[in-house]
Every structure is written in C-alpha cells, then in structure tokens.
Amino acid sequence: MAETVNQTQNFLKGIVKENPIFVMLLGMCPTLGVTSSASNGLGMGVATMFVLIMSNIVVSLVKNQIPSKVRIPAFIIIIASFVTIVEMILEAFVPFLYEQLGIFIPLIVVNCIILGRAEAFASKNNALSSLIDGLGMGLGFTLALTILGATREILGNGSLFGLKFVAENANTFILFILPPGAFIALAYLTVLFNKVTAKTAK
Amino acid sequence: MSKKKDTFMNMVISLFVITIISGFSLGYVNQLTEQPIKDAKVAKKTNAIKLVLPDFDNNPVEDVVLIKSENINDSIEVYPGFANNEFVGAAVIGSSEKGFSGLVKLMIGFKASGEIQNIEVLEQKETPGLGTKMKDEKFLAQFRDKNPSTYNLKVKKDGGEVDALTGATISSRAFGEATQMAFDEFMKNKENLKTPKN
C-alpha cells in the first residue's frame, strides 16, 4: 500500500497544501522568535529541516521495534540526539549563526512539527516516504521562515540578507523587527498565502 | 514484521538500546567538534582584539590577565598587546548590567597612554534599531582617541560629553558605564601589565 503513495504529491504537500507554518500553524515559537532577518530564518529553517529528515528516517526504520506505550519518549530521544548534533556542528563551524539563534537551537527538540511528523507520518510509512515527507515539510518550513524573515528585515531594517538598500540614517518601520512585528507580518503573510492557494485550488 | 508487544521487558530494552546508541553517537560527534569549537572561540576573540588594539606581535589570548575587581563578581579579562616587547596597550572587557535589556559587554582597546583606540561590542540585547545603533560608526567615533580621565563618559543629559543615541539614552549610559569601568581597571593595573609574561 505504501508503494502507491504518490511521492511527488508527498513532497509537495509540505510546501503548499499542508505548509507547517501558513496552513497548519505549527512550530510558532521559533517562527516568531528568530525571524528578525532573512538569514536567521533561513538558518533556523535548514537546521530544523536536517533534524526533521533524520528523525523521520530513523523513526520509520525503528517503528516496529518500539512498543507503542513508550513510543513518545523513544521519539523524543531520537529527536533530541539529532538536535544536539546540529547544535555542536553549528557551534563549531558557523559560530555566527549559532550566536544569532541562541536558545532556539536546543528548542528545536520541542518543535511540534518534528514530533508531529514522527507520530503522524514516519511511524506509519516506510523510510523513503518518510524522507520525502521530511524534505517537503522541512522545505515548506524553511521557505516560510525565510519569507517571514525577509519581509520583516525589508520593512524593519531596510535590508535583505544583511545588504542594506536604504540610506544609513533612513527611518524604517522598527516595529517589524520587534516582537509585535512578528505577529503582524505572520498574520498578513498567512492571509496572503491562503488567498493565493484558495484561488489556484478552484 | 509485527509491532513489539507492550510488555515491561520490551519497553525497558527498547528504551535502553535507544539511549545507549544516542549516547555513543553524541559522544562521537562531541569529540569531532570539540577542537573546532575551541578554535572558533579563540579566533573570535583574536579578531575582536585586532580591531581594538594598535598593531601588536604577541598572542594576547595567551597572555590574558584576569583581574579581580570589587565592583563586579566576575574577574575582568585584560589582553595586553606588545610590539617588539614594548607595551602598546591592552584590550579590556568592560560590562554593565544597566542596559535596557540587561548585560552590555564591550571590548575596549586602550593605548599605553590611556587613550581609547577603539571599542567593539561583544554582547548586547538592546532594542533593535535604537540601542543596537551603539555598534554604528557614528556613535563609536566620538570615543576614539579620547582619554577618559579628561573626557567625561557620561551622556550629555547627565553632565558628560557623550552624544546619546536617539531614543536609547539608557543603552548609551550603560555603554559609558562599561567603558568607564574598563578604563578604571586599566589604569589601576597598568603597571603590572607592562612587563611581558615570558
């Protein structure tokens, strides 16, 4: 049965139909917390995507070995191990990003997208489908975070990926880099996203 | 393959195996990344020191002097710089808890005469777009080549000579306080710093 799953659709659903941020509104903590710039959003997205893909694969491989009563602690251990690995690698090789993301890296452990996919998808499907599911969901998450980060950075700082395109002393909407700006930008982007996808669905 | 039954033994064994595997793999990755993490931290410090000190040819990170201060709990790190065994100045870590959102940590480079060579912001959590402008050239420029014994580091509002950042007087105050603290410690310990360690 698993073989009949259309892999293309499996991949695309994470980006559009079941986009974790704009449609399912999961994982709001890092979404609102780190997206003050496009590069922060991208970095967080890629780190989360790596953990999501790896945990999806491992969970689907060991799903039959784990008694269902202890599956949640088992999943959490698997996820936490990968998060710790990501944290150490980031600290060693991209210390700049490690400092920017700070506490939000260890918090990937409790990101509900990852546990949600492990429970809802990987524990019921084979490794290949789980990998593709993780890739699609991870890309959807990364795209959403980068777009949100870019929007906030352009409006709030007059720059994109750190490149400033307004005059040094120009007044920008500082509100958008502050925490309330995250909520406002996210709300409008969600509306926009759902408006566009609703139209194309017709 | 059918799912394992929920017996007590099965649960214990599966969790045990998973934690063992994860423990070993974490230990392995930790071993791999231990050295790069240390190197990255040293590189970051060396870069900051290069930015704030006049040219030097020793390794200030190795020559670090820790100074106990009665004002704060932590000891203060001082990195002396030497060129041809001649003392050229020292980079002092100054900090203040009075920032708008807590700790402001600076690295201030003093010339041997006590004048400020340059300042680098190491850590701050100030308001983006307001207090974070303390990193901007325009704000930092007013401290360069000033000697804090004649140049009052307080903001103009408090009777000093520093132009505070627009909308971020508290951040500017903390900045001045951290710089003042570093200067006081530098002057107190200047004589001890002047002799190279080796």
pLDDT of residue B70: 65
Q: Is A188 exposed, middle or buried (0-12, 13-18, 19+ CB in 10 A)?
A: exposed
* CB contact (8 A) between residue B26 and residue A62: no
Q: Which residue of chain A comes nearest to B30, CA vs CA?
A: A88
B1 pLDDT tier (thresholds 50, 70, 90): very low
Residues in contact with B118: Cβ distance below 8 Å, sequence separation at least 6, in sequence order = B51, B52, B53, B109, B140, B144
Residue among B10, B26, B30 minimizing CB distance to A67: B10
pLDDT of residue A141: 92
pLDDT of residue A86: 92
More confident residue, B3 or B107: B107
**Residue of A37, A7, A63, A27 lying closest to A185 (CA atoms):** A37
A1 pLDDT tier (thresholds 50, 70, 90): very low
Tokens encoding A109: 């452990």
Cβ pairs A/B, distance under 8 A: 78
Q: Which chain A residues are closer than 8 Å to B40 by Cβ?
A: 91-93, 95
Q: Which chain B residues are closer than 8 Å to A174 by Cβ?
A: 127-130
- Say which range, A76-90, A174-188, B79-93, has the weakest mean pLDDT: B79-93
- The whole model's pTM is what? 0.78
Q: Which chain A residues are closer than 8 Å to B5 by Cβ?
A: 67
* CB contact (8 A) between residue B22 and residue A172: no
Residue A192's H or E segment, with its range, is helix A179-201
Residues in contact with B105: Cβ distance below 8 Å, sequence separation at least 6, in sequence order = B93, B94, B95, B121, B122, B123, B124, B178
Q: Which chain B residues are closer than 8 Å to A68 by Cβ?
A: 3, 6
Task: Tell me the pLDDT of chain A averaged across its residues.
Answer: 85
Average pLDDT over residues B111-140: 81
Distance CA B20, CA B26 (A): 10
A167 touches chain B (CB under 8 A): no
Residue among A77, A95, A174 minimizing CB distance to B129: A174
pLDDT of residue A64: 84
B182, pLDDT greater than 60: yes
A2 pLDDT tier (thresholds 50, 70, 90): very low
A96-147 confidence digits (pLDDT tens): 888 878 788 888 888 888 988 888 888 888 888 889 899 999 999 999 999 9
Please give the C-alpha separations between residue B98 and each of A51, B93, B154, in angstroms, as whole numbers. Answer: 38, 16, 13
Q: Which chain A residues are closer than 8 Å to B33 by Cβ?
A: 88-89, 91-92
* CB contact (8 A) between residue B33 and residue A91: yes
| d(CA B12, nearest CA chain A) in Å | 9
**Residue of B174, B94, B162 lying closest to B132 (CA atoms):** B174
* CB contact (8 A) between residue A91 and residue B11: no
pLDDT of residue B102: 82
Tell me if A135 sits within 8 A of A53, measured CB to CB. Answer: yes
B20, pLDDT greater than 80: yes
